[in-house]
Amino acid sequence: MVQSKHIFSPLRLLLNNKSVPKTAINLSVLKSSLLRCQVLKEFKQILSQMILNGLIKNKFAAKTLLKFSTGSLASIDLSYSFKIFNLIDNPDASIYNIMIIAYLRRNYPHRAIHFFKLMLSRNVRPKVYTYPFLIEACAIRLSWHEWPFKPERPFKIEGPQMHSHAVKLGFDSDVHVRSTLIDMYADSDEGFDALNVFEEGPMMSSFVWYSLLYTCSVMGRMKKAEYFYNLMPEKDAITSSFMIVQFMRCGMWEEADKLISDIPENDTAHWSEIIYGFCAPGLDMYEHAFNVFIEMHGDGMTIDELVVEAVLHCCRKSIFIPDCMEMGKLTHCLVMKIGIESDVELQNGLIGMYSVYGERLYAQNLFYAACWLHQSSWSFVIRMYLRYDLFKNAREMLHSGIRPGKMSLDRIITDLAIDFAAWDLRNCVYSYSIKNGYNVRMLMQGAR
């Protein structure tokens, strides 16, 4: 009974809302009304009038409103979308897909799978484009339950069950279905299953190649990874740098040198990806990253913001390596020498690096001396204050008139509650969020 009350509460709220649009909502004006709709209140007015005048029973109008509620305004709770869905007579597969995609994009993969089961129970035949989203939902659910423990059996078998269902309906040869299957098996460390899917059909979407390369590297099959790399129709800096790093990790120096020789000297995006690659989780090849940077500088190659940001990232990650602080300070000197210190992301990297090293005054001086920093820099500094229990400084920054971005507040609220146990300051940030019109409910989800 409580659950039913929750589901139908939006309708009661709408019917009690006496404010309605001056122009009556009908099929011809619905799209223009939705284009002008900017806030939740306006959406509720449109929905309430459609319910009252019966337009919600028109399948095309209801589908249009449903698509708008799931995609256009993030502030619209999906309980409204669910109510609209329930008011549609005999919804077809495309309408179920709207809800499945919406739940997946709002990070409710379990509800996406529930809708698929509801779809089958009502004898609605799924379409081929339903399955990529369902397979993605299975992969997300598995990732939620696999660390730090082994995944529970129901979550482990959901993906293969979805695979079997796609095969049963003859959708397994579809390029997009196969691509998401490979991605799912790769993410769940089922390397042999991923390779089997690849070998069963035609070439796939470009995003899957990286999953294949990663799977082979985890399995220690670098020759197979090289085979897939050579098959790729288009190679980019990310895949090339990944292969270089993995070849070096496995001692395949000739193969790595061959790929390095193909990189243009001044392709800084490519070189920065290689440096990032050495710092990937599980590799921790920081010395290799620093050596690449030193050789680039020694050979007179171009050093720009992209390369320096990658090096600073390595410096922050390698805090326990001897002389890493010295490398960070030398990099800062090089930044000043070549005149690229005005880049915001680079300055944020420097602030973060000094903060991790315990050089609070360096970080603080960088922040207050630069006039080109923006909202993201605010987050770096306040997190530094929190790291050193300087809650008074953090509170002063909060009331200094700087308006941080939503993502900054989201991260800070979570850190205050979990990492620092600073509940008083967390409540202060929470109050600030309400006062300045942020989506507080979304902000607080991560802090629970």
Taking the C-alpha atoms of residue 121 and residue 96, their distance in angstroms, rounded to an integer, is: 12
If you write DSSP's letter for every residue of 201-239 in order, what string do you get? Answer: SS---THHHHHHHHHHHHTT-HHHHHHHHHH-SS--HHH
Task: Please check the confidence at residue 409 and state whether its pLDDT lies above 80.
Answer: no
* 72, burial (CB in 10 Å: exposed 0-12, middle 13-18, buried 19+): middle
What is the average pLDDT score of the chain?
A: 78
pLDDT of residue 271: 92
129-148 confidence digits (pLDDT tens): 899 999 999 888 877 654 44
CA dihedral sign of residues 412, 418, 419, 425: positive
On the question of pLDDT at 374 being above 80, the answer is no
Instruction: Calculate helix-pair angle for 344-357, 375-387, nearest 10 degrees.
Output: 0
pLDDT exceeds 90 at position 311: yes
Residue 428 in this model has a pLDDT that exceeds 70: no
Q: Which residue has the higher pLDDT, 384 or 223?
A: 223
- H/E run at residue 35: helix 27-36
- Give residue 448's pLDDT: 41
- Give the start-to-end residue ranges of the domains of the chain: 374-448
Model pLDDT for residues 164-187, shown as the tens digit of each residue: 999 999 998 888 898 889 888 887
- Look at residue 372 and tell me whether its pLDDT is greater than 70: no
Residue 82 has a pLDDT of 92
What pLDDT shows up at residue 102? 92
Average pLDDT of span 403-411: 52
Q: Residue 318: what pLDDT?
A: 84
Q: What is the pLDDT of residue 381?
A: 76
CB 141 within 8 A of CB 110: yes
Question: Looking at the predicted structure, is the pLDDT value of residue 163 above 70?
Answer: yes
| Residue 4 pLDDT exceeds 90 | no
CA angle, residues 268, 274, 278, in degrees to nearest 5: 145
